[in-house]
Structure formats: C-alpha cells, structure tokens
Amino acid sequence: MKLYELTYLLPPNLAEEEQTKQLEKIRSLIEKRGGVLDTISPATKKNIAYPIKKRAEAVMGFMNFYLPPQKTPELSAELKDEEGILRHLLYVKEGKEPRKKLRVRRPKISAEGTHATKLGRPQLDEHRPAKKPKIEMEKLDEKIEELLGE
C-alpha cells in the first residue's frame, strides 16, 4: 500500500452537516477499496483562482490515506462521478517522515563584541579595517563652506 493525499473541493453553500456527509462518503469510498485513513485536515472555505461550475469559492479539504495502487483509478472515477464534489486531486505522497531542517550555525558573539572562534582560527575583527570616526554635522557644514569658498 502507498500513501496518498486527496485534495477535494466542495460547493461553498453546503451546510456543516452536508460537508460532514460528503466527508463520510469519501471516507467510505476509501475504506470500501481497502484503504486506511491516516490524517484528515479540516475543510476551509477558499477563493479559487478560476470559476469551477460557475463558483468563485469552494470548501477545500485534504486527506492522507494508504491504498493499494491498483484501486486508485476506481476511487478517482467514483470521486469524479460524485455530484457533491466539484473537483479532486489524488496523488502519491512521498514518505511520511518530514525532512530534517538544516541548521545554520552562526558565530557566537562575546561580551567585547568579537566573534568567538574554534580550532584556533583568527577572529574576524583582526581582518576588518578600523572604523572611521563619525563626523559631526557642524564640522561637515564648515568643510563644505570652505570648499565652496563662501
């Protein structure tokens, strides 16, 4: 059995009870073919990119389940024939384990503001040029007047 994800769109005017009935119908279609549900995300109302059956909004939901690969064409055909489902997308989901996040290590800053080093590497401040002192606005104005000859 493979892990699949089903994304479905329902009409936006369905009441909560009717949405639940549609969800149960989808669940029974999966279980009837020997599928095992993994996760179900709650359906939410969304604006869609283009109208589907003259509707600009839809209720979108997701399901993850395990199903034998031979049974997917049957399931997809039956979902397509279902009147209460505007659209659906069924695809194989690669692996269940999330990827490990890459951890970016940043240099530690000591109390003096210099970077701590490892393995005897030179500190970063040794290679930086010395900072120039800031010039006050009054001195800058005097220098401009001197250059312009005013």
- DSSP letters, 33-49, are TT-EEEEEEEEEEEEEE
With respect to residue 149, please indicate whether it lies within any of the assigned structural domains: no
CATH of the domain at 21: 3.30.70.60
Residue type present at position 15: A
With respect to residue 137, please indicate whether it lies within any of the assigned structural domains: no
With respect to residue 131, please indicate whether it lies within any of the assigned structural domains: no
The tally of domains found in the chain comes to 1
Radius of gyration for the chain, computed over Cα atoms and rounded to the nearest angstrom:
31
With respect to residue 30, please indicate whether it lies within any of the assigned structural domains: yes
Rounded Cα–Cα distance for residues 116 and 98 (Å): 33
DSSP 144: H
Rounded Cα–Cα distance for residues 130 and 125 (Å): 9
User: What range does the domain containing 21 cover?
Assistant: 2-92
With respect to residue 19, please indicate whether it lies within any of the assigned structural domains: yes
Sign of the torsion formed by the C-alpha atoms of 43, 90, 72 and 82: positive
Confidence (pTM)? 0.60
Mean pLDDT, residues 47-68 taken together: 91
Please write the tens of the pLDDT for every residue from 67-104: 999 999 999 999 999 888 999 999 998 865 434 444 55
DSSP 11: -
Mean pLDDT, residues 49-56 taken together: 88
With respect to residue 150, please indicate whether it lies within any of the assigned structural domains: no
* pLDDT above 80 for 2: yes
**In what helix (H) or strand (E) does residue 28 lie, and over which residues does it extend?**
helix 16-32
**In what helix (H) or strand (E) does residue 59 lie, and over which residues does it extend?**
strand 55-67
With respect to residue 65, please indicate whether it lies within any of the assigned structural domains: yes
With respect to residue 32, please indicate whether it lies within any of the assigned structural domains: yes
**Banded model confidence at residue 107, pLDDT cuts 50, 70, 90:** low
**Banded model confidence at residue 112, pLDDT cuts 50, 70, 90:** low
Rounded Cα–Cα distance for residues 72 and 79 (Å): 10
